[in-house]
Chains A and B, each alone.
Chain A
Amino acid sequence: MSAKILEIKNERLNEKYYKIDHESGLSIYAFPKEGYKSSFAVYGADFGSINTHFISDGQEIISPDGIAHYLEHKLFESEDGDAFVKYAATGANANAYTSFEKTCYLFSCSTNLEENLRILLGFVNQPYFTEETVAKEQGIIGQEIRMYDDSPDWRVMFNMLGGMYHNHPVRVDIAGTVESIAEITPEKLYECYNSFYTPENMALCVAGNVDVDMLVRLADELVKKGGAKSVRKIFPDEPKTVAKKYVEQIFPVSAPMFYLGFKSDGSVRLDERKAAACEVMLFALASNSSALYEELMNKGLINESFAYEHLEGPAYNGVSFCGESKDPKAVAEIIKRYISDMRENGLDADEFEIAKRATYAEYAAALNSVAAIGNALISCAFTGRELFKTIDEIASLKIEDANEMLRFLLDPENCTLSVIKGGEQ
């Protein structure tokens, strides 16, 4: 087979990587790090917990919640044994995860890269689901779900998502529920596998001590061109406003915890410049040197656990702030006041400059780590953004871009406060 290879360079950071369009349809990203001994590889499908409704070759399919995560667990088993056992012999450190929008299988190593890639491509490309093996997993994943149900950190976040969204599946736990996974069968797993685990819908990203020719040779050997299915993901209509403004749960916790989520328009995916504007704006607004943080700290309303995050994926977009607080409602009021003020007057110019530098440096520093590069590349592969372009956009960002993003993402009237506090259940 053959492949089209594109070199992508960044002069400022003196780095380059290769995007390889393999004939099978698979996108391969190779980021060689000169002088590095170790490597990180991640092989993923553009298929996450929110993709339970889709049309595959003209047929409409609705799968049980939690099926992407279930599939991830089951793929590690092949007819000839467990993938972890194979990795143990080569010394690689392997793992996998399922997020809202993708499923990824990864490892890191500093010897035996090619052998480890054979293991990785081997087990992901060879599903093996039987009634017996699928049933066996119900108990294990059921335990995992109960563990999440018992985790206040996890609950407080999903309670917020449940309050923000009326219909979008981002409101459902990634692992599903004990009831929903009981409906999973080998047929349903194959249905998802055959629709989404196709070369066109997957990416392989390798960073570190890696050679492009070796990757192409391996893909030639191990990735077969499938009869490409046409798959269309379907999302329910989602109102613009949040479903609930306030959600509360009682839990045995020593200090109350909160998540405050702002809902924005999820119909368009942000491009590189907008993604850059978002990162810098949030830093300027809420970093550990911002005026907002200072006021919250000085009033004793937050501690060092305070954090913020951009929540973005197919058909959803928003921002969350979280932490521990003796008075979450007061925290929410102060955050909303800062947002209203900045929507009107814009960000402080000094804070913006500081935020731009710090955000840029964070992206640059991530290029030290092969794992950080691999994970960034696979995110880019599925969002359609280009890694270096995002960094360049940060470096050249104007305060107007950040202010525009603030007004787009943060509406003080359209948010959900989720609180978990102690007491009797």
Chain B
Amino acid sequence: MENFSRRELDSGIFLNSVKDERFKTGRISANISTPLRENTAAENALLIQLLGRSCKAYPDYISLNREMNRLYGASLSTQCAKLGDLQQLSLSMTGLDDRYTLNGEKLSKELAGLLCKMLFEPKREGEAFSSYDTEQERRKLLETMQAEINEKRSYAITRCVGIMCENDSFGIRKYGSPEQLKSVTPKQLYSAWQRLLSTSVVNIMVAGELDADAVGELFKSEFNKIERAPENIETKMFKRDDKVKEETERQNVAQSKLVMGFSCGINVNDDRVDAAKLMAIILGGTPSSKLFVNVREKQSLCYYCASSYNRQKGIILVDSGVENQNIEKAKNEILNQIEQMKLGNITDFEISAAKLAVEDSSGMVTDSISAIESFYISQIFENEILSPQEAAKRISAVTKEQIIEAASCVELAAVYVLTNGEAEK
């Protein structure tokens, strides 16, 4: 079973290792955390894609692919995500574990070396990134953004968060806006790269049986060359305004979307966080949940109705797909289900089904090296780092009274509706 350790290599540079001998492959990733800001979100998002595309030593896809195939078909990926008030940029490498190479080659060091080349020695044109590569990656990122706008379910969630958090950095989109992205220059990317290497907090994550210390040494020697001034990366709890924010947007959609945002005042720094997690699962996290069974199945008010809890911000979101004429009814019924939880109307079956779902998904996490890696990356920013099993155990220990108490903290903050406006009253 996995065994986690963590130490600081340099100011704001951490080496994290999840030792786990069960896998044939290992993963190394550099996870760059920086405050999510309106003016830098787009350039950061574009930068991480460019860093994953090429480097000075392997300036085009063919030379990079050839090197990775030589390293037993290693694979490289980039990610830009939002974690609380942070923009999290990751560059990850997956490769065969040293124990299984055909001729005893030690791949750990080569994989880490290639990752360092990608991060520290990018392909440059003077003090700018390659303009050809910038255009190619800009086009891809714009396509990704457009695809997210076309995907109405996730679009509606993003819009609701934006309205609810208009004065909170959590409201900023993870890739920034298309307008900003269009104006980013290759020169700007170069300064973004320098800024991030010096001011971000970086978590190196090594998962599997790879030699974490050797990986750490490589990164340490690279960061030694850089003057570091890491920024504070704390996430603030979300606070709702006195008035519920409401917005209805008209678009040509067949099915309307209703997204409701709630504050719950409980985040990772609160002992009640496990109760809040379980409460949100009972509310709308499984096919046995209150929203699924009552709003969807029994009353047929929507096609889907689910809830999620963001424990960094203390936010609960309920999202649903509804017929136009059912928007008001669905909204009232969702509020009623939360009210029922506050009143303690929660059955033993609802609680045990939610706990079973937690146990089941922790088992799935444990058996996948990439899921383990992402699990620990999110744990790093919490007060106490738990294993997937420990985290599931804590949730299993939550009592009905604790669930009711967590539910009593839930307050409506925003309602967003996306509709074509037909069949309205």
Contacts and interface: CB of A to CB of B under 8 A. Distances in A.
Contacts of B66: 289, 354
A148 interface: no
A140 interface: no
Interface residues of B, number: 32
A307 interface: no
B61 A88 contact: no
Contact of B359 (A33, A110, A297, A359): A110
B100 A12 contact: yes
B100 A297 contact: no
A88 B292 CA distance: 13
B24 A364 contact: yes
Most B CB contacts (10 A, CB to CB) among A34, A110, A287 go to A110
B357 A91 contact: yes
Contact of B22 (A13, A33, A297, A354): A33
Q: What is the size category of the interface that chain A forms with chain B?
A: 35 or more
A151 interface: no
A398 interface: no
Interface in A93-121: 108-111
B364 interface: yes
Contacts of A111: 356, 359-360, 363
B353 to A, nearest CB: 8
A110 B364 CA distance: 7
B363 A358 contact: no
A88 B368 CA distance: 23
Contacts of A12: 100
A367 B24 contact: yes
B59 interface: no
Interface in B243-271: none
A33 B369 CA distance: 14
A287 B69 contact: yes
Given A294-B62, A357-B102, A38 B367 contact: yes
A150 interface: no
B303 interface: no
Given A360-B102, A364-B96, A354 B360 contact: no
A208 B22 CA distance: 12
A208 B73 contact: no
17 contacts: A37-B362, A37-B363, A91-B356, A110-B359, A111-B359, A111-B363, A288-B61, A289-B68, A289-B69, A294-B62, A357-B70, A361-B73, A364-B25, A368-B24, A368-B25, A368-B368, A369-B368
Given A368-B22, A368-B25, 17 more contacts: A35-B1, A35-B22, A36-B366, A91-B360, A111-B359, A208-B367, A288-B62, A288-B65, A289-B62, A357-B70, A360-B102, A361-B96, A361-B100, A365-B24, A368-B23, A368-B24, A368-B369
Interface of B: 1, 22-25, 61-62, 65-66, 68-70, 72-73, 95-96, 99-100, 102, 287, 356-357, 359-364, 366-369
